[in-house]
Amino acid sequence: MNKLIPVTELTLDPGAQELLLKAHEEDIETAFDRAKEQEPHCKFGLTGVCCRRCLQGPCRITYNGTKGAKRGICGATADQIVARNLLSLIVEGAAPHVEHAREALHTLLEVAEGKAPYEIKGKDKLITLAKQLGLTVDGKEVNALAEEVALAALEDFQRQSGISRWLRLRGQEKSVQTWSELGILPTNAHLEIANAINKTAMGCESDPVSLLLGIMRMGLVEGFDGLHLSTDMQDVLFGTPKLVKTQYRMGVIKEDYVNIAVHGHIPMVSEKVIEWSRKLDREAKALGAKGINIVGICCSANELLMRQGVAVATNYASQELAIITGALEAMVVDAQCIMPSLAKVANCYHTELISTLPNIKLEGASHVNWTPEEADKMGEEIVRRALVHYPERDQARVQIPSDTVEAYTGFSVEQIVELLATLNQEDPLLPLIEAIAKGDILGVVAIVGCTNPKVKQDWANTELAKELMKNNVLIVASGCSAHSLGKFGLLSPAGLEFCGERLAGVLTAIGQANGLPALPPALHMGSCVDNSRIDNLLVALANRLGVGVRELPVAGASPENHSPKALSIGTFFIAQGVDVHIGVNAPITGSPLVEQALTANKGEFAVTTDELFGGKLIYEADPVVAAHKLIDRIIKKRKALGLVCPEDLGSVAK
């Protein structure tokens, strides 16, 4: 355990800092310790030039051009190895979202068929979606319509030719045209995944440009049959989020309650946990607790936060620390971003770590199986187990950091439009477009993705946000990055103190028209799959303006990215023509070709995503420098649209 590094250098979150000290005292290892233990990282791995695809190797190729092998045993060059590895990584990012979407659609299907105990809460969304899909809506029962919608979605896992239905549904026409010309329109999500793996297999595709196009295609699979499909199915099942007030930080764990943390990504699990926590609340009181308290971690948090206002304990890097409070009776996990170490940490306390998905088992965890049909059984069983553990809690080891921070969330596109409609009922997007056109809003940047023990937790996410806000850039946020902003008041009207005057004026005007002191400077739009909502917002703005998404003065950023999902989501946005910043570099620097194709940094190669799609990858570890790189690109796009720029307004930065 590395006790020499002050905890203030590991995380910005004071609650996490406090719990790291507790972990050190109790001799419990965390990801922050293990991150230091892996330094220095293998440079072959970091730069993408390590290949373990077959048993001739493993092969390590030169990454600096001066020594070592130039080709793997099969003859693969650095360009080929890096491109193949990146495609594998993007597939590993997209596949979990695709499977998430498929689980959601099967749940909807079973609900529609009367087999699964969920209520279809998003009837409006269902009807809108059915109409968008061209289905006949009138005179149909909700369940019959839901079944039709789910079966339409299922085609994206079965069709053998043609184009993904969800891409046709959600893609902007101008973008679809670009993708069609490049021959990267996906057919069927599962087929594309198998096909991509076939490309990367030993002795298969070696053309790095073709591999790069495969990467962009996988970005479209991620975007449409991963993100969009997940959000659409979940909005139908659980309702479209609306503005809601909630709390952030470890202090949301309550000493006098039975505490259950939901962690992972799949709301079909976490919605049932909260439902049963309400049903069994009295039993908690019978045990002497004040009730049952559900807190969220990662995107399970986001799903419940957006729709139910459930409070958020923390985000990815400090997930173990929630257990170290000693006050969690259960941590319920489903899929993705679940540290395998959780079982070991939970074992130091009375906390029961419970896995739920049939396909995602955790070593050392107990398992209460979720299937759509068994959802109630699962929910009840999990909550009952937590109740059993409450009396086992060792009060002497309980230490819950005290503070919490207020946040406003629930900013679905539907909610944003509703808020804007108070300013212009007929043309709700117009006030936003006018604010952008006038330069009151310089542009929009999505801050999304993760935290990463390699980066001081929450620091890069919040620093980037604040620098952008200062320059009148509106922030939309999702995932664990949104949690970073939430913990530090940037999802609250209090965050206006960080904004440039022009942006603050717009946010105040919209907020006050809706009975709020102001809108927060960062609009929390949901979980990682809800990056679909950000895409919907961009497409709506672009369509209203009559331009392509690639022309908009917008960008994306993942300052503390760790998950390949952040890369696959980023690839989707680059394919849309949106620049994407990452604060932790992808393993691409071993190949000048791949690096330049994605970043357009050097002039050696002809083809870049910037030219083909209008978007590029920007790697920059310093969040303030990154903010200005994004602002420069936004200004460039503003100029191309003929919009006023900061120099015209006499305010480059506050």
Q: Between residues 41 and 278, which has the closer beta carbon with respect to a copy of itself?
A: 41
Task: Return the residue of 1, 2, 14, 57 that touches a copy of itself, per CB under 8 A.
Answer: 57
- To the nearest whole angstrom, how small is the minimum distance from the Cβ of residue 37 to a copy of itself? 5
CA dihedral 45, 46, 49, 53 (to 10 degrees): 40
Burial class (CB in 10 A: 0-12, 13-18, 19+), 650: exposed
- To the nearest whole angstrom, how small is the minimum distance from the Cβ of residue 294 to a copy of itself? 21
Task: Return the residue of 158, 369, 402, 424 that touches a copy of itself, per CB under 8 A.
Answer: 158
Residue 627 and residue 471: Cα distance in Å, rounded?
9
Task: Return the residue of 6, 65, 203, 517 that touches a copy of itself, per CB under 8 A.
Answer: 203
Restricting to residues 579-598, name those near a copy of itself by CB under 8 A.
Answer: 584-587
Contact between 160 and a copy of itself by CB under 8 A: the answer reads yes
Task: Return the residue of 80, 259, 399, 415 that touches a copy of itself, per CB under 8 A.
Answer: 80
- To the nearest whole angstrom, how small is the minimum distance from the Cβ of residue 567 to a copy of itself? 8
Contact between 189 and a copy of itself by CB under 8 A: the answer reads yes
Residue 303 and residue 271: Cα distance in Å, rounded?
9
Q: Between residues 297 and 499, which has the closer beta carbon with respect to a copy of itself?
A: 297
User: Contact at 8 Å (CB) between 519 and 510?
Assistant: yes
Contact between 5 and a copy of itself by CB under 8 A: the answer reads no
Q: Between residues 536 and 608, which has the closer beta carbon with respect to a copy of itself?
A: 608
Binding string, residues 521-560; x marks residues near a copy of itself by CB under 8 A? ----------------------------------------
Q: Between residues 523 and 574, which has the closer beta carbon with respect to a copy of itself?
A: 574
User: Encoding tokens for residue 98?
Assistant: 């695709």
Residue 589, C-beta contacts closer than 8 angstroms, at least 6 positions apart: 46, 47, 48, 63, 595
Contact between 508 and a copy of itself by CB under 8 A: the answer reads no
CA distances from 32 to 39, 254, 314, 560, 585 (A): 12, 25, 15, 14, 19
Task: Return the residue of 52, 438, 602, 636 that touches a copy of itself, per CB under 8 A.
Answer: 52
Contact between 46 and a copy of itself by CB under 8 A: the answer reads yes
Contact between 1 and a copy of itself by CB under 8 A: the answer reads no
User: Contact at 8 Å (CB) between 414 and 528?
Assistant: no
Stretch that binds a copy of itself, among 113-121, 184-192, 505-513, 536-544 (CB under 8 A): 184-192
Q: What is the DSSP letter of 477?
A: E
Task: Return the residue of 143, 206, 422, 601 that touches a copy of itself, per CB under 8 A.
Answer: 206
Contact between 362 and a copy of itself by CB under 8 A: the answer reads yes
Q: How many residues does the chain have?
A: 654
Restricting to residues 325-354, name those near a copy of itself by CB under 8 A.
Answer: 335-342, 344
Residue 177, C-beta contacts closer than 8 angstroms, at least 6 positions apart: none
State residue 311 phi and psi, 5-degree precision.
-75, 155
With CB under 8 A as the rule, give the number of residues binding a copy of itself: 94
Residue 71 and residue 370: Cα distance in Å, rounded?
47
- To the nearest whole angstrom, how small is the minimum distance from the Cβ of residue 241 to a copy of itself? 24
Binding string, residues 270-299; x marks residues near a copy of itself by CB under 8 A? ------------------------------
Restricting to residues 445-464, name those near a copy of itself by CB under 8 A.
Answer: 452-454
Task: Return the residue of 5, 69, 640, 653 that touches a copy of itself, per CB under 8 A.
Answer: 69
Stretch that binds a copy of itself, among 200-208, 230-238, 405-413, 606-614 (CB under 8 A): 200-208
Restricting to residues 93-152, name those near a copy of itself by CB under 8 A.
Answer: 93, 95-96, 98-99, 106
Which strand (E) or helix (H) includes residue 314?
Answer: strand 312-314
Binding string, residues 301-330; x marks residues near a copy of itself by CB under 8 A? -------------------x----------
Binding string, residues 366-405; x marks residues near a copy of itself by CB under 8 A? ----------------------------------------
Stretch that binds a copy of itself, among 201-209, 386-394, 439-447, 478-486 (CB under 8 A): 201-209
Residue 133 and residue 125: Cα distance in Å, rounded?
12
CA distances from 406 to 183, 311, 488 (A): 47, 9, 9
Q: Is 524 helix (H, G, I), strand (E, B) or coil?
A: strand
Residue 83 and residue 432: Cα distance in Å, rounded?
40
Residue 17 and residue 22: Cα distance in Å, rounded?
9
CA distances from 492 to 197, 484, 502, 562 (A): 44, 12, 18, 26
User: Encoding tokens for residue 214?
Assistant: 């495969």
Residue 323, C-beta contacts closer than 8 angstroms, at least 6 positions apart: 261, 331, 342, 345, 346, 348, 349, 351
